[in-house]
Structure 1
């Protein structure tokens, strides 16, 4: 079966530098990957009007030199008001009826991505998540009622989505993903449903969501509904390499140096070592200081020498307190 089309989103600023790291790590760790790497670039119009979203020429040349195809799109519905919506609207640049895999740009490919059965598997998404949504109020509604209201909205079977090994009202009982990666057999069907349902929830949320925030969680609220509705679900053991020894969703370079294993650091530093890559990445302060000046290893790593907190928030707080954070 043909390799899936890979999709990331990049625009001026942090995302274009992360796109360089993604492409460099893909070529380093999966040199035999035969699929297309498509970089969706939002145009500075529509919902991004008034913002300079265009990737710099130097970045564009470097990405194309690593085999990436940069394809522009116009965001009509989310844009600057909800940048996470880029991943929803960017699916429109992919050819229909061809398997796809979306990755957040802040992802490092650390292993042979070409050996995973992405093109053959049913739709799924990342399980590297915390119980961030919903936050049921003290007197209800609870997790079950909130999630069921969404399944009912779109005519989905709620019961079949549950993980019955988890107790009632525990967040892991309910289908919930991180939207850092997801995939499916047809981006046209996936993208249209993702867009339609996200707009429905944003514009007219069920009353059970009255106490819930949808910013920044909208994409992660709707994603499990889309995947379940398309016959997918939690990823199986054959995809364990995602968020494992094949890909690493690091989210932020300081977080990578804080919590990822030595093997991940080695891939990052080796993949970004070539002069043509270093020349461009040094224009991005986090890469300049953490990778090329060695501050990631020398300054961040020792902060957590005695162990990492269980949650991400205190790690971020420690990094910010010590001056090692960039938004």
Structure 2
């Protein structure tokens, strides 16, 4: 059974911040965490990739005022080096940033496009049994006619890394239905040590990228590489689907909104109101308004127009349909 960490246990919260959209999302995340009522044992680190040959442009946060605001919101900027990924696969940041965190201390990684809505202390993390976000669609693998099925593809990966495939299956789901197979969105994950998790994540991701089993020959790994490796990492470390109660992360405690147009389109009114609340202080507003999509959606009420396109109680089943409707109306800003 998942257990609540001791009150004295420090938990390092990690997001990635860099030049461009992510730096503004990082500011929103930090403001939401500060507003959420989470106590100071949840320490926020904003991982910042450093210039290297893997980045054609300097990826660091350049806005001095934004950097200062992050500090005032109790966020610590955490520089890290890209040795294996970079501009060609920026999702690799969530892997390489883990090595910059203190070794042996529990962590929770969140995608930067997330809001913390309530006290993280309400989440009974069991840091010995990792898991990740189940708010996902069947994005990978995409089956081809005459190609291998879900089971054959996933089993090839478990076999490659010497993992027990059978124990990963959800036998309540039918054979060759995508939910039967362990698959997560990488919007959050956690474990008792970032270095142990990061090394396993890195090893698996590089192996899949550079020498994938032949069953993956028809499959795209961009941008899915992190989400292909992640369930293997979690399974290998003794985690799984059900190590957290449902309805907390990706629910009442956190919201992985993905993009602001999607937040306005599909999240509940309380989350929209919370966004406006944390974005309202003048010192935050002054910085967020310099980013045109946030300026239009939050402060010039374009978000309300996006929201009016949908019945939040009867949304399209697929995210793609929501995105396409927003784009047709000219409100896709990110």
* TM-score of the aligned structures, taking structure 2 as reference length: 0.94
State yes or no: 1:53 paired with 2:55.
no
How far apart are the structure 2 equivalents of 1:117 and 1:77?
33
How far apart are the structure 2 equivalents of 1:257 and 1:178?
20
Residue 266 of structure 1: how far off its partner (Å): 1.1
State yes or no: 1:168 paired with 2:171.
no
State the SS of the aligned residue for 1:134. coil
State the SS of the aligned residue for 2:251. coil
State the SS of the aligned residue for 1:244. helix
State yes or no: 1:248 paired with 2:248.
no
**Contact 1:101 1:118 (C-alpha < 8 Å) held by counterparts:** no
How far apart are the structure 2 equivalents of 1:320 and 1:9?
27
Unmatched runs of 5 consecutive residues or more in structure 1: none
Matches within 5 A, 1:208-287: 208-238=215-245, 240-287=247-294
How far apart are the structure 2 equivalents of 1:65 and 1:235?
36
**Contact 1:3 1:114 (C-alpha < 8 Å) held by counterparts:** no
Unmatched runs of 5 consecutive residues or more in structure 2: 1-5
How far apart are the structure 1 equivalents of 2:45 and 2:54?
21
How far apart are the structure 1 equivalents of 2:206 and 2:319?
29
Question: What is the aligned counterpart of 1:150 among 137, 154, 157?
Answer: 157
**Could you say which residue in structure 2 is the equivalent of 1:137?**
144
How many aligned positions are there?
325
Matches within 5 A, 1:11-160: 11-48=18-55, 50-55=56-61, 56-118=63-125, 120=127, 122-160=129-167
How far apart are the structure 2 equivalents of 1:244 and 1:121?
22
**Could you say which residue in structure 2 is the equivalent of 1:6?**
13
- The worse-fitting range, judged by mean Cα deviation, of 204-213 and 26-35 is 26-35
Residue 140 of structure 1: how far off its partner (Å): 2.9
State the SS of the aligned residue for 2:331. coil
How far apart are the structure 1 equivalents of 2:190 and 2:204?
17
Residue 76 of structure 1: how far off its partner (Å): 1.1
Question: What is the aligned counterpart of 2:310 among 283, 304, 310?
Answer: 304
How far apart are the structure 2 equivalents of 1:64 and 1:119?
29
Provide the aligned C-alpha RMSD in A: 1.3
- Go from structure 1 to structure 2 and tell me whether the alpha carbon gap of 1:308 and 1:42 turns closer, same or farther (over 3 Å shift): same
- Go from structure 1 to structure 2 and tell me whether the alpha carbon gap of 1:33 and 1:166 turns closer, same or farther (over 3 Å shift): farther
Residue 240 of structure 1: how far off its partner (Å): 3.0
Deviations 1:118-148 (A, max 9, x none): 2545100000000010012222311001000
**Contact 2:302 2:331 (C-alpha < 8 Å) held by counterparts:** no
